[in-house]
């Protein structure tokens, strides 16, 4: 068995004296693990956030198999220089590992979105890429079959003045229909509707709360999994940014 693919490094752990177990998000083969023989010598390459070109080989499909890899896009060093980018990278890898089933080749658009997100993290701080991260999590929910429905009000069918989201259904709610229940609804950041308005710290914090709620309730909790600590730290960072901006 053999295939070639592009992949984003998610995690690396030592195996034996010189090998490593590499976990990646591939373009066409989903989240995948493999053994890299002599991988400790490739430490600069096998860093979370880097994109690599992979060759996977195994005698049988169900085997762990061996990876041979070479660097394609080196991001890790730059990402680790920024506290905010590192927090985003850690949240991205932790959520990807916790939510995606292994070897499910269903997520090619998610791979493309992941490269956009990681490249955005290279450019600036959370104020720049926070909205991209929220959109990425919304896309992850959709890829897993739990997409949010933000096209019309769940109560009235209206398509305008959508400013809330129901915490139960994941559907949008209009300002008029939601006003009596506002305390129990999530604010809907307008950038998730394609608004061109400037995104502020409060929008990013609200977006993280929204997508985080549904990732936990619909994806993690049914499998007995907690919200990964790196994702909780990103929430705290966003809340801190919001506090400083007010």
Walk me through the domains of the chain, giving residue ranges and CATH numbers.
Answer: 2-74 (2.40.50.140), 78-150+188-245 (no CATH)
Q: What is the mean pLDDT of residues 9-22?
A: 91
Query: What pLDDT score does 242 carry?
Result: 86
Query: What pLDDT score does 41 carry?
Result: 87
Q: What is the mean pLDDT of residues 162-186?
A: 97
pLDDT digits (tens, 9 = 90+) for 68-112: 999 999 999 999 999 999 999 999 999 999 999 999 887 789 999
For 94, the token pair is: 């932790």
Q: What is the mean pLDDT of residues 202-219?
A: 98
Query: What pLDDT score does 88 carry?
Result: 97
For 28, the token pair is: 């066409």
For residue 73, give the 3-state DSSP assignment.
strand
Q: Please state, rounded to an integer, the average pLDDT across all residues of the chain.
A: 94
Sign of CA dihedral 84, 90, 93, 95: negative
Query: What pLDDT score does 155 carry?
Result: 95
Among candidates 16, 7, 95, 87, which has minimal Cα distance to 47? 7
Residue for token digits 């992949």? 7
Q: How many helices (H) and strands (E) does the chain have?
A: 7, 8
């Amino acid at each position: 068995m053999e295939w070639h693919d592009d992949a984003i490094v998610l995690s690396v752990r030592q195996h034996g004296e010189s090998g490593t177990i590499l976990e990646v998000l591939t373009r066409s083969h989903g989240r995948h693990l493999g053994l890299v023989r002599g991988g400790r010598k490739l430490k600069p390459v096998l860093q979370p956030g880097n994109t690599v070109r992979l060759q996977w080989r195994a005698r049988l499909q169900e085997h762990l198999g061996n990876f041979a890899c070479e660097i394609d896009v080196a991001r890790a060093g730059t990402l680790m220089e920024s506290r905010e980018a590192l927090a985003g990278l850690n949240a991205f890898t932790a959520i990807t590992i916790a939510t995606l089933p292994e070897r499910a080749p269903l997520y090619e658009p998610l791979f493309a979105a992941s490269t956009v997100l990681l490249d955005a993290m290279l450019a600036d701080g959370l104020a720049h890429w926070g909205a991209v991260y929220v959109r990425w999590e919304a896309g992850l929910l959709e890829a897993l079959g739990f997409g949010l429905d933000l096209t019309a009000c769940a109560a009235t069918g209206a398509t305008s003045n959508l400013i809330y989201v129901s915490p139960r259904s994941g559907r949008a709610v209009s300002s008029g229909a939601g006003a009596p229940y506002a305390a129990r609804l999530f604010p809907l950041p307008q950038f998730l509707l394609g608004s061109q308005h400037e995104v502020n710290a409060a929008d990013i914090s609200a977006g993280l709360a929204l997508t985080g709620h549904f990732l936990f309730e619909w994806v993690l909790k049914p499998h007995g999994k907690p919200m990964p600590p790196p994702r909780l730290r990103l929430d705290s960072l966003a809340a801190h940014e919001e506090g400083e901006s007010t």
